[in-house]
Amino acid sequence: MTNPDETGSNEATVARSQQRSDKVEADLAVHPQRWRLLTGDRPTGKLHIGHYFGSLANRVRLQNLGLDSYLVIADYQVIYDRDGVGELQDNVMSAMADYLAIGIDPARTTIFTHSALPGLNQLMLPFLSLVTDAELRRNPTVKDELATSDRPMSGLMLTFPVHQAADILFCKANVVPVGTDQLPHIEQTRVIARRFDERYGRVDPEHPVFPEPEALLSATPHVLGLDGTKMSKSRGNTIEIGMSADETAKLIRKAKTDAERHITYDPQNRPEVSNLLLLTALCERGQDGEVADPALIAEEIGDGGSGTLKKRLTASLNEYFAPMRARRAEVAADEGYLRQVLREGNERAGAVADQTLHEVREAMRMIY
Ligand code: TRP
């Protein structure tokens, strides 16, 4: 997708990031109180099981380790590449229902939207003074947009990595769980934190205003869509967290497989079948109580073929998500509750943002 030499995400960089991340991961369980975590999603559609296994479940795990957690529903990041807000409101409410259903606990995780935090958004201005136009154009996501989109690039698209830095730094998060695609954004955030200190200084001579956050690259399983390609709403190959058991069964029945009847786990040569096996394994427990082994499931099915595999996946997946879906139906039916949780999160996060903005203005001698 992007030129690895210029993205800052070449193999050496990723390997270095992984080493640092492993150290952080080891410390999280020992000293959870040292870490403040921020994660986020662009509410562009419904959350699906790819999001769940790839990141949401990991957030719940980290929250439950005792980390002070923040979760941004990045609504301003939705409008950087489109002409209106579209289904934004529905998507935000739906994400709220998903979060609460899967075990995000609003008492331990502060859930908020960008748009409700003036203090966060104002950080964007001093931060913009710390980056160059050329630097922003080298960001892989921005660069990709320039290269592939047929619409003119918005100013918000060009500068969104700076806004994302504000997402992370407003609460002084020092750990950000991400996939490798987000590493350049974390690096940009670290650069902004450092430059802020160099250029504008400190309130407390012992401590810079902002920490340099660490990326956390936890090993989460990478699941594909039901056609064996990247799971994404636009490809119509997703299973949404909030779907019913029947809808799920119907989609799995239509999932792509291959011509070979005997089932084997071979992600290289049989991506579609192997992905269905992986999904099955993620929804089952092995004898040791850990996530099941897709290769063993393949052996058990053997000549049963893809029909047997699909039946097993349907049963296991529906069973795995049943309690979450029941909880989701409950909270989704009570929009007043969802809005209340979000309002409380926005208030909490807003107070933190105002405090940080105050420190920024102190450091910049802009308190009058
Ligand atoms: N850019 C992220 C994505 O597309 C979403 C996001 C917004 C985010 N703000 C963030 C991720 C801050 C981590 C930290 O998925």
Query: What distance in angstroms lies between residue 74's CA and the mean position of ligand 1's atoms?
Result: 7
Question: Looking at residue 354, which CATH number applies to its domain?
Answer: 3.40.50.620
Same domain, 51 and 110: yes
Same domain, 22 and 128: yes
pTM over 0.85: yes
Ligand 1 in contact with 74 (CB < 6 A)? Answer: yes
Same domain, 144 and 256: no
Burial of 147 (0-12, 13-18, 19+ CB in 10 A): exposed
Examine residue 99 and state whether it is found in any structural domain, yes or no: yes
Residue with the two structure tokens 């208030």: 347
At 52, list the tokens.
Answer: 């769940």
Same domain, 136 and 251: no
Domain count, the chain: 2
Q: Which residues are CB-contacts of 76 (< 8 A; sequence separation ≥ 6)?
A: 114, 115, 121, 156, 163
Query: What distance in angstroms lies between residue 35's CA and the mean position of ligand 1's atoms?
Result: 18
Ligand 1 atom at shortest distance from the alpha carbon of 160? 1
Same domain, 261 and 342: no
Same domain, 171 and 279: no
Examine residue 227 and state whether it is found in any structural domain, yes or no: no
Ramachandran angles phi, psi of 6, nearest 5°: -110, -5
Residue 6 has what pLDDT? 40
Angle of helix 88-102 relative to helix 335-363, nearest 10 degrees, comes to 100
Per-residue pLDDT of the chain (368 residues; tens, 9 = 90+): 333 434 455 788 899 999 999 999 999 999 999 999 999 999 999 999 999 999 999 999 999 999 999 999 999 999 999 999 999 999 999 999 999 999 999 999 999 999 999 999 999 999 999 999 999 999 999 999 999 999 999 999 999 999 999 999 999 999 999 999 999 999 999 999 999 999 999 999 999 999 999 999 988 888 999 999 999 988 999 999 999 999 999 999 999 999 999 999 999 999 999 999 999 999 999 888 888 999 999 999 999 999 999 999 999 999 999 999 999 999 999 999 999 999 999 999 999 999 999 999 999 999 99
d(CA 104, CA 96): 9
Structural domain of 314: 233-332
Examine residue 228 and state whether it is found in any structural domain, yes or no: no
Q: Maximum distance among all alpha carbons in the chain?
A: 77
Ligand 1 in contact with 75 (CB < 6 A)? Answer: no
Same domain, 40 and 141: yes
Examine residue 150 and state whether it is found in any structural domain, yes or no: yes
Judge contact between 217 and 228, C-beta under 8 A: no
Examine residue 225 and state whether it is found in any structural domain, yes or no: no
Same domain, 67 and 173: yes
Same domain, 188 and 74: yes
String of DSSP letters for 199-238? HH--SBTTB-SS--PEEE-------B-TTSSB--GGGT--
Question: Looking at residue 311, which CATH number applies to its domain?
Answer: 1.10.240.10
Same domain, 183 and 310: no
Examine residue 33 and state whether it is found in any structural domain, yes or no: yes
d(CA 192, CA 259): 52
Same domain, 80 and 26: yes
Examine residue 226 and state whether it is found in any structural domain, yes or no: no
Same domain, 142 and 30: yes
Query: What distance in angstroms lies between residue 166's CA and the mean position of ligand 1's atoms?
Result: 11
User: Which residue has a Cα nearest atom 2 of ligand 1?
Assistant: 41
